[in-house]
């Protein structure tokens, strides 16, 4: 049977509507859960307010930034406006703005629910682990459904309304801009608060985590939501849109050759299947008899994976898609799982690396750092090899279909890997909800038993988070490879329009390409360094503020009844600092891209993107994994190993954990976004780089 | 005028003879310097014995290793022996062995003099800073002369005797094998001893550095020589040979097209000019009136640079070489200086990075690490951009000469950069000599004034070392780019022989190339991680031994007259452990190279080398620079800033320094060698990869 593309667009819109309906149902369910503790409600309210403050500020700054970019797009992209391309440029600018808005809406929905679910989860823990788990999970699932629903809806609408691929890149660029703010800005926010709260609270004063006397405690809890709910959501929205955009750009360019829209249809159909699989997976998620939350989370992921494989197989059969491309998608999915397992090995406290680092900590913090860095370096190998092999296999499987299909195969592997992203985000957003719930249980004085339940749920969140982070990086890896393919498509379209010679590839031995490759290599390092220095500077400001409050507010240190710190001051510092520190880092990445493009043209950009991708992946994997490893080493020591709490090893492990925090929550995961932003800027600028550059 | 290649070979041999003669003169001069202190002579003797122990052991293991490799070469390389290539393979195997022997001889000479000059320098310090400086510098210069002399002699002889380029790669591979053992093995040795001595001595017992009671103190002093004299010498011997080999491979292949041997002649002529310039530079080195040793060292480098530029300009004019190629060499030289200056900015305690890290240390060790890592990441940008631009310019300048000249231009930029390597090694070997001298002055009880002079000389050594390390990495960068060119030449020669299609380049978008690129990216990370873990494990063994001695040897801790520790036990542990930990790391790099080659063939190897080069440079720069930065931050704090000795900042800075030690002296600089080894293995295996591989 041959269906029109409009059929698939309509199906996509229906399934995204379904996901929104399901998100609403889950939201109502969470809202209906009982809550009675006044103190928890109060603190929960403060967290919610803090999160709102950040989002408002972030969206205000983003709106200005996006306004400027949209204006630049209107004037220059894809072709300077004086060449009579007003309508095209306007469409592009609108698509860009829609990209930011769709991502933003998903972020708001997710945050609203997360800052509601944390309270409900804390209260539910009084009734046992199962209801509490369900509450946290369903709260997270709202974010999952909202993000993937708006991805599919947005992409389908852009396609329906413009009937063109270039605006898709504009939409994707909008999503990337949003992700840059949400992920990198949120990453700075969360670690500023976390590090400052720990430094003054735990280290200087020796008061427990989540102690309400600490002026940074609310900012810290807000940070979990800002970084891990909104940030991770925007990041995966971005990857998801980018992978679909790249696949559609290539698919439609293939469709133009062969007639019909079968490849584009396939992209939509697979993405819709993934969303449907995620809905079913979420609906089926329940904690088994043994009450192990990690297993519950992982099982729902596996179920979703299986459903996706079956659904797409059926669709491929019904709609007569290429089985080879189906194979490529399944390879992508499999690699996602492999990268996840590899990440798990390096960050799981049952395995050698975490235990070795704990042992090394006995000789002092320098050895914690050295061994952690070493295992972090080694951990990049399986993931990079996995991505390399999957790209190679996807390419080789799809190559026989015809010219151009090989690269399309890689992009479909990325789509396959990201198909279950709804489930991934649900698992991921679960983390900060239960983390918050733990804090609330403590602050609400719910007693040891309840805190222990919250702890169990929290620890499962951390384990699952390591895996989903590996997954996110793997997905980003395949996505950016396919963005490289999309870049070539764009360049060739532009070249044809301007009667210039197109390109077929980028030869490493060409010095212009190699020039780009070397410069591209440095960018992720510089970008992540700037973010980390930003956390450092921002934390210094906040530490000064905390000191001021403890000195000036009478009775605060002693915990006198009725004396509360000025939480909002810390929230303000975290918010303003995050955005202030983020923008230079983002600009440096973009400016270097433009310089490389104007110096070396599209060929230098090809090398530049490749360099950026490979070292970006390397550093992202290194920093995420060593950060997770240090976190778990510290927990391993705290559980009584290598001397336990208070020992030399413990102090050293705490240093490792503090170093690891900005590694894994600020710099590491933000590199994905940096790569996507740079790739999209390059694609959008392709005409300009093609026609104006110093060297060719 | 047109001169025969034999003219240049003879000139090269004469100038290398000259450098050996000059080395002998310097050696005699050093030997003639007075020494009278018995205690110094005794300790100096122990250091010399320890160094001999290491070299003997190292050469024994290396001999076995080299024997196996030589046998493999005989059987398989460049073409399997059963195809009737016995003579070619035998030549190759002999060239390989000669490469290890030439490098080894230079190492022995350098070590012999260094372990003599340290004693003389310590004694000379009693007469003032100027004679002491001269003694240290001239001792180092013997190593410089010996290394560069044997490079030029070896290359000239191989060319004279075989009249072929492939054996040059064999010779170069021999040099790399040696460098792998000397640099990576020496790096593990030196840091094992350093870290263990500090950990037990300074941290646990609070006894001063270089205290003779410490059983690891001799091993520590031996380590300076092993790592920084023999190791750095072998490393630069390796880079130097590799750059000449790459340039000659490409130059001769161009000469085959145009007739004559003008390009090959040029390579030899420039290398000889560089050696001559270094001889003159060393002879002119003297400390000025102000008595600033850093200035004296840097001035002699600048003088050498200027002499090289003038000599090669004259040679280019007389022998009618291409002026464009001269330009490429001068660009290489200029970039060497730029990379050096950039390195200096990030590691100099007058500049912001070091001071910021010292300030961050006030908040504890985690912030020392975070800010140091961040500045280390940022420090990679100028160097990578410098290498990128110089490669691009060299290529573009030489492109108009004719096909193939562009890549040859890059290789000549590398030759230019390495031309003054004789001077660089002299400066570099000066470091450990004066470092040792400081220790000897302390152990010999020469008094505060003398120790202060030794300290001044030592600190100049550290500053200069940061610059020369940057230089070495920059040189390695350009060299390995030209090795990529040499690889293509080799593949095409092999392809022509087997009637296969040759290659013109490596397209990043080709998934086989991209596969290689991704895997190549991971290798330097894994290699350096294995070395660092090796240091960690080895240091644990040595710490246990030191504890044992302090516990079992009565009166040792109290410093009872006549009680000496068993220094040799520590030396043994450092020696055995270094070689044991090194071999797996080297093998992993080589095995992954072979796997990539057999899976993806020459195209995958092209991508693999590119990935290896770019991340190798990134990580080498990052680790060397952040290591240097931490070292100097500690010194900056010890000089009384940010709280001075004993403060929180000081403790944190010590942690940074301990992390930085294996970064900058083990892992960072060994990556160069790893890249060269992998590049040469690839070139040597090109025929096999071309004809046998899974994917094409």
pLDDT digits (tens, 9 = 90+) for B350-403: 889 999 999 999 988 999 999 999 999 999 999 999 899 988 999 899 989 988
**Residue A696 vs residue B48, higher pLDDT:** B48
Cα–Cα distance, B528 to B585 (Å, whole number): 8
Arithmetic mean of pLDDT, B499-508? 82
Contacts of B510 in chain A (CB under 8 A): 505
Rg (CA), chain A: 24
Substitution target from A339, A356, A372, A373 for chain B, most B beta carbons within 10 A: A373
Instruction: State the distance between the two ends of chain A, measured CA to CA, in whole angstroms.
Output: 47
| C-alpha distance from A86 to closest chain B C-alpha (Å) | 33
| Closest by CA position to A432, among listed A214, A233, A634 | A233
| C-alpha distance from B115 to closest chain A C-alpha (Å) | 31
Residues paired with B507 in a beta bridge: A507
Cα–Cα distance, A608 to A601 (Å, whole number): 11
Determine, for residues B504 and A507 on separate chains, whether the beta-carbon distance falls below 8 Å: yes
- Closest residue to A615, CB basis, from B528, B607, B615: B615
Determine, for residues B610 and A508 on separate chains, whether the beta-carbon distance falls below 8 Å: yes
Chain segment A622-634, per-residue pLDDT in tens: 999 999 899 989 9
Determine, for residues A509 and B507 on separate chains, whether the beta-carbon distance falls below 8 Å: no
Residue B406 has pLDDT above 90, yes or no: no
DSSP state of B507: B
- Closest residue to A618, CB basis, from B388, B505, B522: B522
Contact A440, A125 (CB under 8 A): no
- Closest residue to B391, CB basis, from A366, A515, A543: A515
Torsions phi, psi of B565, nearest 5?
-75, 165
Non-local CB neighbours of B111 within 8 Å, separated by 6+ positions: B51, B55, B225, B226, B229, B230
Residue with tokens 């992700």: A179
| Closest by CA position to A115, among listed A233, A27, A21 | A27
Determine, for residues B481 and A395 on separate chains, whether the beta-carbon distance falls below 8 Å: no
- Give the total residue count for chain B: 696
Contacts of A385 in chain B (CB under 8 A): 518-519, 522
Contacts of B187 in chain A (CB under 8 A): none
SS3 A207: coil
On the 0-12 / 13-18 / 19+ scale of CB atoms within 10 A, B580 is: middle
Cα–Cα distance, A625 to A473 (Å, whole number): 11
Arithmetic mean of pLDDT, B539-553? 89
Arithmetic mean of pLDDT, A472-480? 81
| Closest by CA position to A339, among listed A376, A308, A383, A371 | A383
| Closest by CA position to A633, among listed A375, A323, A394, A420 | A375
Cα–Cα distance, B182 to B228 (Å, whole number): 10
| C-alpha distance from B284 to closest chain A C-alpha (Å) | 38
| C-alpha distance from B622 to closest chain A C-alpha (Å) | 9
How high is the mean pLDDT of chain B?
A: 88
Contacts of A408 in chain B (CB under 8 A): none
Q: How many CB atoms lie within 10 A of CB B4?
A: 11
SS3 track for A561-588: CCCCCCHHHHHHHHHHHHHHHHHHHHHH
Q: Which residue stretches of B163-231 are H helix?
A: 166-179, 186-197, 217-224
| C-alpha distance from A4 to closest chain B C-alpha (Å) | 32
**Residue A500 vs residue A594, higher pLDDT:** A594
Cα–Cα distance, A272 to A285 (Å, whole number): 20
Contacts of B629 in chain A (CB under 8 A): none
Chain segment B250-308, per-residue pLDDT in tens: 898 888 888 788 899 999 999 999 999 999 999 988 887 667 888 888 888 888 999 99
| Closest by CA position to B425, among listed B201, B206, B228, B227 | B228
Residues paired with A507 in a beta bridge: B507
Cα–Cα distance, A159 to A8 (Å, whole number): 11
Determine, for residues B529 and A203 on separate chains, whether the beta-carbon distance falls below 8 Å: no
Residue A93 has pLDDT above 80, yes or no: yes
Q: What is the largest CA-CA distance in chain B?
A: 77
Arithmetic mean of pLDDT, B631-656? 90
Residue A2 has pLDDT above 70, yes or no: no
Torsions phi, psi of B507, nearest 5?
-85, 120
- Closest residue to B515, CB basis, from A365, A392, A655: A392
Residue A256 has pLDDT above 80, yes or no: yes
**Residue B343 vs residue B524, higher pLDDT:** B524
Q: What per-residue confidence (pLDDT) applies to A325?
A: 93
Contact B665, B229 (CB under 8 A): no
Contacts of B622 in chain A (CB under 8 A): 525
How high is the mean pLDDT of chain A?
A: 88
Chain segment A289-315, per-residue pLDDT in tens: 667 888 888 888 888 999 999 999 999
Contact B644, B553 (CB under 8 A): no
Arithmetic mean of pLDDT, B67-75? 91
SS3 B500: coil
Contacts of B374 in chain A (CB under 8 A): 529-530, 532-533, 536
Determine, for residues A407 and B509 on separate chains, whether the beta-carbon distance falls below 8 Å: yes
| Closest by CA position to B542, among listed B494, B576, B517 | B576
Chain segment A208-243, per-residue pLDDT in tens: 777 888 888 888 888 888 888 888 888 889 989 999
Q: How many CB atoms lie within 10 A of CB B256?
A: 13
Cα–Cα distance, A186 to A581 (Å, whole number): 11
Contacts of A378 in chain B (CB under 8 A): 525-526, 529-530
Q: How many CB atoms lie within 10 A of CB A412?
A: 36
| Closest by CA position to A655, among listed B654, B366, B373 | B366
Contacts of B606 in chain A (CB under 8 A): 508-509
Determine, for residues B374 and A532 on separate chains, whether the beta-carbon distance falls below 8 Å: yes
| C-alpha distance from B365 to closest chain A C-alpha (Å) | 7
Residue of A nearest to B510 (CA): A505
Q: How many CB atoms lie within 10 A of CB A496?
A: 11
Substitution target from A509, A533, A653 for chain B, most B beta carbons within 10 A: A509
Q: How confident is the model at residue B604 (pLDDT cuts 50, 70, 90)?
A: very high
Residue A506 has pLDDT above 90, yes or no: no
Q: How confident is the model at residue A145 (pLDDT cuts 50, 70, 90)?
A: very high
Substitution target from A196, A374, A407, A659 for chain B, most B beta carbons within 10 A: A374
Size of interface A-B (CB pairs under 8 A): 241
Both tokens of residue A343?
Answer: 């990440």
Arithmetic mean of pLDDT, A164-171? 87
Contact B285, B22 (CB under 8 A): no
* Lowest mean pLDDT, pick from A520-529, B96-105, B363-372, B551-560: B551-560
Cis bond upstream, residue B426 (ω within 30): no
Q: What per-residue confidence (pLDDT) applies to A117?
A: 92
| C-alpha distance from B475 to closest chain A C-alpha (Å) | 15
Contact B598, B695 (CB under 8 A): no
Contacts of B371 in chain A (CB under 8 A): 532-533, 536
Determine, for residues B517 and A662 on separate chains, whether the beta-carbon distance falls below 8 Å: no
- Cα pseudo-dihedral B665, B669, B670, B675, rounded to 10: 170
- Closest residue to A614, CB basis, from B373, B518, B533: B518
Domain ranges across chain B: 5-691
- Closest residue to A512, CB basis, from B203, B392, B514: B392
């Amino acid at each position: 049977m041959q269906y029109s593309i409009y059929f698939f667009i309509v199906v996509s819109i229906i399934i995204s509507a379904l996901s929104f309906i399901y998100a609403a149902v889950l939201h109502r369910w969470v809202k209906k859960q009982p809550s009675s503790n006044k103190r928890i409600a109060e603190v929960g309210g403060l967290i919610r307010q803090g999160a709102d403050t950040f989002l408002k500020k972030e969206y205000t700054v983003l709106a200005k930034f996006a306004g400027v970019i949209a204006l630049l797009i209107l004037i220059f992209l894809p072709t300077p406006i004086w060449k009579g391309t007003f309508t095209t440029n306007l469409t592009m600018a609108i698509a860009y703005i829609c990209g930011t808005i769709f991502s933003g809406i998903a972020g708001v929905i997710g945050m609203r629910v997360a800052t509601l679910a944390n309270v409900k989860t804390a209260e539910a823990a009084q009734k046992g682990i199962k209801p509490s788990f369900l509450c946290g999970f369903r709260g997270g699932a709202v974010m999952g459904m909202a993000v993937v629903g708006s991805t599919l809806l947005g992409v389908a609408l852009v396609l329906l309304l413009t009937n063109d691929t270039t605006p898709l890149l504009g939409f994707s660029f909008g999503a990337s801009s949003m992700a840059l703010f949400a992920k990198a800005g949120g990453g700075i926010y969360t670690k500023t608060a976390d590090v400052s709260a720990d430094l003054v609270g735990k280290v200087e004063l020796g008061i427990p985590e989540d102690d309400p006397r600490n002026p940074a405690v609310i900012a810290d809890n807000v940070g979990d939501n800002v970084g891990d709910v909104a940030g991770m959501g925007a990041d995966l929205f971005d990857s998801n849109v980018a992978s679909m955009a790249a696949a559609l750009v290539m698919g439609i360019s293939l469709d133009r050759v062969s007639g019909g829209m079968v490849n584009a249809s396939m992209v939509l159909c697979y993405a819709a299947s993934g969303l449907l699989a995620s809905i079913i997976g979420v609906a089926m998620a329940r904690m088994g008899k043994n009450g192990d939350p990690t297993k519950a989370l992982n099982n729902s992921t596996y179920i979703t994976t299986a459903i996706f494989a079956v659904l797409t197989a059926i669709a491929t059969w019904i709609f007569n898609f290429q089985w080879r491309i189906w194979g490529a998608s399944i390879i992508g999915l499999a690699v996602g799982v492999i990268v996840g397992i590899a990440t798990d090995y390096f960050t799981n406290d049952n395995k050698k690396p975490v235990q070795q680092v704990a042992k090394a900590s006995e000789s002092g913090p320098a050895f914690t750092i050295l061994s952690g860095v070493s295992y972090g370096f080694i951990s990049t190998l399986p993931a990079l090899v996995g991505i390399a092999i999957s790209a190679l296999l996807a390419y080789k499987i799809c190559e026989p279909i015809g010219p151009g299909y090989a690269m399309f195969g890689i992009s479909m592997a990325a789509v396959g890997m990201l198909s279950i992203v709804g489930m991934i985000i649900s698992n991921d957003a679960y983390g900060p909800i239960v983390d918050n719930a733990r804090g609330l249980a403590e602050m609400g004085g719910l007693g040891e038993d309840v805190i222990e339940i919250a702890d169990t749920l929290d620890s499962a969140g951390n384990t699952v988070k390591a895996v989903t982070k590996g997954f996110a990086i793997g997905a980003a890896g395949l996505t950016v490879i396919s963005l490289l393919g999309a870049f070539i498509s764009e360049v060739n379209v532009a070249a044809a329009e301007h009667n210039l010679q197109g390109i077929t590839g980028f030869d490493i031995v060409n010095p212009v390409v190699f020039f780009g490759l070397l410069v591209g290599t440095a960018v992720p390092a510089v970008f992540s360094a700037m973010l980390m220095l930003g956390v450092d500077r921002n934390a210094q400001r906040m530490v000064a503020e905390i000191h001021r409050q403890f000195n000036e507010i009478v009775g605060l240190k002693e915990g006198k009844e009725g004396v509360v710190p000025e939480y909002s001051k810390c929230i303000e510092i975290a918010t303003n600092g995050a955005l202030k520190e983020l923008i230079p880092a983002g600009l440096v990445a973009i400016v270097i891209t433009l310089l490389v493009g104007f110096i070396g043209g599209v060929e230098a950009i090809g090398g530049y993107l490749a360099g950026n991708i490979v070292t970006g992946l390397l550093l992202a994997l290194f920093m995420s994994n060593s950060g997770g490893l240090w976190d778990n080493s510290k927990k391993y020591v705290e559980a009584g190993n290598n001397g336990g709490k208070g020992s030399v090893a413990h102090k050293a492990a705490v240093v490792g954990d503090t170093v690891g925090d900005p590694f894994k929550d600020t710099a590491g995961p933000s590199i994905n976004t940096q790569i996507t932003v740079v790739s999209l800027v390059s694609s959008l600028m392709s005409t300009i780089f093609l026609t104006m550059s110093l060297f060719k």
